[in-house]
Amino acid sequence: MRKNIGVVLQDVFLFSGDIRSNIRLSSNISDEEIEKAIDLSYSRDLINELPNGMDEPVRERGSTFSTGQRQLLSFARAIAHNPSILVLDEATANIDTKTELMIQKSIASITKNRTTLIIAHRLSTIRQADNIIVLDKGRIMEMGNHDELLNNGKYYRELYEAQ
């Protein structure tokens, strides 16, 4: 079951090693698949800027990388494993606007033909979702797509206008 689910969390954990091993995670993913995942996650510029590229050392917990860089690598990792279900749990919560835009492009490209659950407070992250479920204290308050909720919803519209 775990092979079918990819998870990108708010707090990314990178392992000591290098970029390639952090994306591969001891699996049989080919270098070609890793390269494709890097492109789909919009991580190519990040990796090209590193002195050693894919062989750049990763220190414990990715301490030499910014939060946004760690998040892009986490997206590449999830994409490389090609899960049928992708869970993004506050994946854009701690990143700058530039990185958020790259991740939004990535989300658009990687969610096609895949079940994706996105948990987010930033409404820009979920704007393109087929179905948005607005929760308040564990209760479903509204459901619909972005346009429906803006036109007919109360809670979502208030959240949207506040952001």
The token pair at 34 is 């890793």
CA 22 to chain centre: 15
Catalytic: which of 56, 90, 142, 148? Answer: 90
| Beta-sheet pairing, 132-136 with 139-144 | antiparallel
Of 104, 51, 35, 95, the C-alpha closest to 69 is: 95
22: Cβ contacts below 8 Å, ≥ 6 apart: 14, 15, 58, 62, 73, 77
d(CA 140, CA 135): 5
- Clarify whether 90 is annotated catalytic: yes
Catalytic positions, please? 90
